[in-house]
Amino acid sequence: MTNQAKSMKNILVVLAFLGLVSCSNDLEINAPYRDIPVVYGFVNINDSFQYLRIQKVFQNSIEVKASEAAKISDSLELKNIKVQLIVVRRFTSDTVNCFITNEFSKEAGFFANDKNYIYKSQYYNLKAFGDIMSVNLYIKDTLTGKVFTSQCTLIGDQGIEERNITISDDLSKRFSFVFVGNRSAYIIDAAVRLTYNEAPLSNPNAFETKYYDYYILSSANVEVLTSQNPKVSRNIQSKAILDDWRRYFAAQPTNVVRQYVGVEYVIWGAGPQFLDLQEVSKPNISFVQKRTDYSNITGGLGLFAARTINKQKNITVDPAGIALIKTLPQFQQ
């Protein structure tokens, strides 16, 4: 190799090196920003007002931690959107507008709680119409024109029987939870609810109504439950529920005073979207990563579904049982 060729080779090596070091080494880890709605909403045939939480996926910069960005309300709220529920009936449809409201407070947590904006529908009595086929969600970004949609079918009521029940430490004592399953639901949760008032010892007149649910059914398949008879009955051991209440309240704050209010039976019926969510959330023993971003919002994320909440408040507890309940931690005698 001639000296001239060697010199040219050295020059090319230097130029290549300079080219490398002059290139930007900035790594852009964020994709281009987009407003993506995240919806969490349920339609209940027994409610005249429907509530929807509609926020957005937020994207923090590399200088701001996600935990810090989540505390900023503007990082979570979607502005300039129109929200409607389209009630599809057999031969017509009704448009129900939804408006943003801040009427409910939000407890402290990971996300910002200085504002708690949710969307509340206009008054609309779903039970007044027997020909409703579905309820559609319509969200439009009025700046970009993008539209996000979803759909659900209403769930019927689960009728619960009135009961006289006994609460006792006697192992032989049992009582029943009897209901009629509506097959428009796909899965059901059922619970015995103990309702009570609670106030701080420092201000014993400032009572807040609370409750604790003892579940007797969780995500039960309605078709299986009602395959033989639409009327479903579950027996509950009296001592088992009493001991469960004791364990729960023993772990609750002791600087309060509690008043017994009553016992209710509660049932939640849910539609196929909840069943789909369960199916994609089950553990997977294969090597394929399980899907974790289930959504039925076209163009967005989240869940829009129908459910019912049915309560039977006519549950009579025997006087001796009420006396036992009042011996739970911090309960007034």
**Do 212 and 245 fall within a single domain?**
yes
The closest alpha carbon to 190, from 157, 169, 213, 207, belongs to: 213
**Do 206 and 319 fall within a single domain?**
yes
Which pLDDT value is given to residue 263? 97
Which tens digits make up the pLDDT trace of 106-126? 666 656 566 678 899 999 999
> Rounded to an integer, what distance in angstroms lies between the CA atom of residue 193 and that of residue 160?
13
**Do 49 and 100 fall within a single domain?**
yes
**Do 127 and 198 fall within a single domain?**
no
**106, 122, 152 — which closes off a domain?**
152
Which tens digits make up the pLDDT trace of 275-330? 777 777 666 555 444 455 678 899 888 899 999 999 999 999 999 999 999 999 99
**152, 184, 219 — which closes off a domain?**
152
Which pLDDT value is given to residue 267? 96
The residues that bridge with 192 in the sheet, in sequence order, are: 214, 265
* Number of domains into which the chain is organized: 2
Per mean pLDDT, which range of 7-16, 163-172, 204-213, 289-298 is the poorest?
7-16
Which tens digits make up the pLDDT trace of 215-257? 999 989 999 999 989 999 999 999 999 999 999 999 999 999 9
**120, 152, 184 — which closes off a domain?**
152
Query: Which residues 6+ apart lie within 8 Å of 269 measured at CB?
Result: 155, 156, 157, 158, 182, 184, 185, 187, 188, 222, 307, 308, 310
Which tens digits make up the pLDDT trace of 6-39? 444 444 444 344 444 445 445 444 445 567 888 9
Q: What average pLDDT does this structure show over 64-83?
A: 71
Strands 315-317, 163-165: pairing is parallel
Per mean pLDDT, which range of 59-73, 134-148, 178-192, 218-232 is the poorest?
59-73
> Rounded to an integer, what distance in angstroms lies between the CA atom of residue 34 and that of residue 80?
14
CATH number at residue 122: 2.60.40
Average confidence score pLDDT of the chain: 84
- Tell which wins on pLDDT, 22 or 94: 94
**Do 188 and 240 fall within a single domain?**
yes
* Token representation of residue 293: 């971003």
